[in-house]
């Protein structure tokens, strides 16, 4: 599936001659750091050369799941291999041999890999599909038994009525899932819907893959998002960890259903033209011993660094040794496995900052000084692993998308390896949501700084694409509030009904919710992300069932019933979000050059910019409306409104006449060749397009009518 010859990724990348310093031509301020750039590039090339010589290239190396774990031949012969060099003896145990700890001993090779071959029994596999299995290791010192879940296992299940410890399952279904739909083309503009399967239901339960496929996918498609980012899929022992304490890296979480159910979800999304990304956690691993990788062969350093370096003090988890040959095989094969087995289209890499630095970002406030990105605080092995991961993924899967979650702003994160970069497609604009929350907590509306707002939204590295967002899952977690909750607070429980008073608090909250999203979408990056439910202003935070809340599901759900209720105002925010996504689909501003900001008026609180041939006008003033407001625009012509936050169908006050035709005047204004005069009511935004671009039925298309 989608594989290519070794030569695509086996040979060292182009740019060896520049020794990984081609990035300096993009950013001359990197000139003093050429030695550090050369060092990391050289180490990446050394790894590629070593893998070529010892493994036959990255392409073969990344097929580790065809070497390790349980392999079933066409004649039903089962071969099981596991790397556990510290173990003295190893045995395969399970339902198939009545858990006899001595009957099925494994053989060890010179590299610490244990193997056993089970011949078919009466023409059938010796191990029954979905039956329980473990590896039983005799470990040094006291020669005690250490029983573990196989590291490459593809299916684990948990019965909390019996124990929180997972059981490994031999997953060998008689009928393999067949994908019906090809991967969609790589989207020119990534409009990402960040989602968690388990919370994707109004009901207080763990929603299933089937629930998501039947109920949530059509909603995402109708909203106009073309990409889904699925969180908490890799199996994690504790539901409340939000998927960030992985114990089985090759297993899809069983709490939502079967592997085939997940495949059907991805396949159905592809049928709708939707790209599906996996939230991958290679920054750390669960410290679980009985059902994780920790102390697998009773050593502290099999997959992880030994001692303190192998432990994340804030996350209470284990840290991978990215300089280990077998760890690289495990992690690179893990990426390829999710692409091949489940047909994912790419990854959002979680916790990249922790991977890049030996301090993991703990207690570090990144100022943007270049010295912070180079030197002894950088984990060069972590940097090189990410280089190899991106080289592998983009070589094997040309349409693959990779996104880095990095708070530090490391240069070169989204520059190709051939130029000395790490090779990601996008980075997350993590400063943007922080700005909104800080202002809503600390500033009066009249004190919002238009210069600071536009600077934060446009402050991104040249040539490195960014995913902008107003709020993600991080801002929805318990202890914080969603943007609409910050804006409206308790009135969300009393005044979001269309039959209740449209209070000043609700009016302000809904207006700013739309404006914040629109300016982030238009100005903030080359991609856009929304966390599920926030498109309609979900009224409550997110909190998973845990001991501290009485194991309640009340906040571990998304109330999709709210925007569907015609008596509630959530429908208007939902419809506006859809209009915004569909307008982007038509005009493609996310994949257009960065905007030209012609006005950021601090007194009027007005921001004006142009992007993708559109004229964007925002009035953030809390009380002042402006008549015949002069706005500069480069292209002459007749303009019409294509997005209007004040429209009645989006819960606005309908003060802007969408039938108005705006004619340009040939007179320079704000460094633009022409100007138009517009009426901009308080707390409104509108986007104007040249009349000839509208097309037949455009207004009906963006109205959508939920």
Contact of 221 with 268, CB cutoff 8 Å = no
| DSSP secondary structure code for residue 658 in this structure | T
Report the C-alpha gap between 356 and 369 in whole angstroms. Answer: 16
Active site residue 55: no
What does the angle CA 478 – CA 311 – CA 412 come to, to the nearest 5 degrees? 80
Please provide the DSSP assignment of 157-184 as one string.
E--TTT-SS-EEE----SS-----SPPP
Burial track 337-351 (b if 16+ CB lie within 10 A, e otherwise): bbbbbbbbbbbbbbb
Closest CA to 206 of 250, 246, 240: 240
Distances (CA, A) of 70 to 150, 246, 654: 9, 20, 63
Report the C-alpha gap between 547 and 164 in whole angstroms. Answer: 14
Distances (CA, A) of 151 to 345, 349, 498, 668: 24, 21, 54, 67
| DSSP secondary structure code for residue 186 in this structure | P
Task: Say which of 235, 340, 350, 380 is annotated catalytic.
Answer: 350
| DSSP secondary structure code for residue 213 in this structure | I
Active site residue 634: no
Report the C-alpha gap between 488 and 504 in whole angstroms. Answer: 10
Token pair in block for residue 327? 């760890």
Report the C-alpha gap between 295 and 162 in whole angstroms. Answer: 24
Beta-sheet strands, E only, within 34-112: 69-72, 78-83, 89-94, 107-108
Task: Say which of 405, 532, 535, 610 is annotated catalytic.
Answer: 405
Residue 613 region, left (φ>0) first, then alpha (ψ -120 to 50), else beta? left
Which positions ≥6 away from 443 have C-beta within 8 Å?
none
What H or E segment, with its residue span, contains residue 276?
strand 275-280
Burial track 622-641 (b if 16+ CB lie within 10 A, e otherwise): beeebeebebbbeeebebbb
Catalytic residue set: 350, 405
């Amino acid at each position: 599936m989608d594989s290519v010859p070794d030569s695509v990724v086996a040979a060292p990348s182009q740019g060896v001659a520049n020794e990984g310093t081609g990035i300096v031509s993009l950013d001359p301020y990197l000139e003093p750091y050429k030695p550090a750039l050369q060092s990391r590039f050289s180490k990446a090339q050394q790894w590629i050369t070593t893998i070529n010589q010892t493994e036959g290239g990255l392409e073969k190396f990344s097929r580790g799941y065809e070497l390790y774990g349980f392999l079933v031949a066409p004649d039903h012969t089962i071969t099981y291999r596991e790397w556990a060099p510290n173990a003295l003896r190893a045995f395969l145990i399970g339902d198939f041999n009545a858990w006899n700890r001595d009957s099925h001993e494994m053989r060890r090779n010179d590299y610490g890999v244990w193997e056993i071959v089970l011949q078919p029994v009466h023409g059938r596999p010796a191990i029954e599909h979905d039956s329980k299995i473990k590896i039983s290791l005799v470990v040094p010192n006291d020669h005690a038994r250490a029983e573990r879940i196989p590291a490459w296992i593809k299916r684990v299940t948990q019965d909390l009525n019996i124990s929180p410890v997972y059981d490994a399952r031999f997953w060998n279904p008689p009928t393999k899932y067949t994908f019906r739909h090809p991967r969609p083309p790589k989207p020119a503009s990534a409009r990402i819907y960040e989602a968690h399967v388990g919370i994707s239901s109004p009901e207080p339960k763990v929603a299933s893959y089937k629930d998501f496929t039947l109920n949530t996918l059509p909603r995402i498609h109708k909203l106009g998002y073309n990409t889904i980012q699925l969180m908490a899929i890799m199996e994690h022992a504790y539901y409340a960890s939000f998927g960030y304490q992985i114990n089985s890296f090759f297993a899809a979480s069983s709490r939502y259903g079967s592997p085939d159910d997940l495949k059907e979800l991805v396949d159905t999304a592809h049928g709708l033209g939707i790209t599906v990304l996996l939230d991958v956690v290679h920054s750390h691993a669960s410290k679980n011993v009985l059902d994780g990788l920790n102390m697998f062969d009773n050593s502290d350093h099999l997959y992880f660094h030994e001692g303190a370096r192998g432990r994340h003090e804030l996350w209470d988890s284990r840290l991978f040794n990215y300089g280990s040959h077998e760890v690289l095989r495990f992690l690179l094969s893990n990426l390829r496995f999710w692409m091949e087995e489940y047909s994912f289209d790419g990854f959002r890499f979680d916790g990249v900052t922790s991977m890049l630095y030996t301090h993991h970002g703990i207690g570090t406030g990144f100022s943007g000084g270049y010295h912070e990105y180079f030197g002894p605080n950088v984990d060069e092995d972590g940097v090189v692993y990410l280089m190899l991961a991106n080289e592998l993924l983009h070589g094997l899967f040309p349409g693959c998308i990779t996104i880095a979650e990095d708070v530090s702003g490391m240069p070169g994160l989204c520059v190709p390896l051939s130029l000395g970069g790490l090779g990601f497609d996008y980075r997350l604009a993590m400063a943007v949501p922080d700005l909104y929350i800080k202002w809503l907590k600390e500033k009066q509306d009249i004190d919002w700084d238009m210069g600071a707002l536009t600077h934060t939204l446009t402050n991104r590295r040249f040539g490195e694409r960014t995913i902008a967002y107003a709020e993600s899952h991080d801002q929805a977690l318990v202890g914080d509030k969603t943007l609409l909750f910050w804006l409206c607070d308790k009135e969300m429980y009393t005044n979001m009904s269309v039959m209740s008073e449209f209070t000043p608090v609700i009016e302000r909250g809904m207006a700013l919710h739309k404006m914040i999203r629109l300016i982030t979408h238009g100005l903030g990056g080359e991609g856009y992300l929304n966390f599920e439910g926030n498109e309609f202003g979900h009224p409550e935070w997110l909190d998973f069932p845990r001991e501290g809340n009485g194991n309640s599901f009340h906040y571990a759900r998304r109330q999709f019933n709210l925007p569907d209720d015609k008596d509630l105002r959530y429908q208007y925010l939902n419809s506006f979000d859809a209009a915004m996504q569909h307008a982007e689909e038509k005009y493609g501003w996310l994949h257009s050059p960065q905007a030209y900001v012609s006005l950021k008026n601090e007194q009027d609180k007005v921001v004006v910019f142009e992007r993708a041939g559109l004229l964007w006008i925002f009035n953030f003033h809390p009380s002042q409306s402006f008549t015949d407001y002069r706005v500069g625009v480069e292209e002459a012509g007749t303009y019409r409104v294509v997005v209007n936050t004040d429209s009645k169908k989006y819960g606005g006050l309908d003060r802007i006449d969408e039938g108005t035709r705006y004619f340009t005047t040939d007179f320079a204004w704000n460094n633009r060749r022409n100007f138009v005069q517009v009426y901009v009511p308080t707390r409104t935004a509108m986007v104007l397009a040249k009349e000839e671009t509208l097309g037949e039925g455009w207004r009906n298309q963006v109205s959508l009518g939920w």
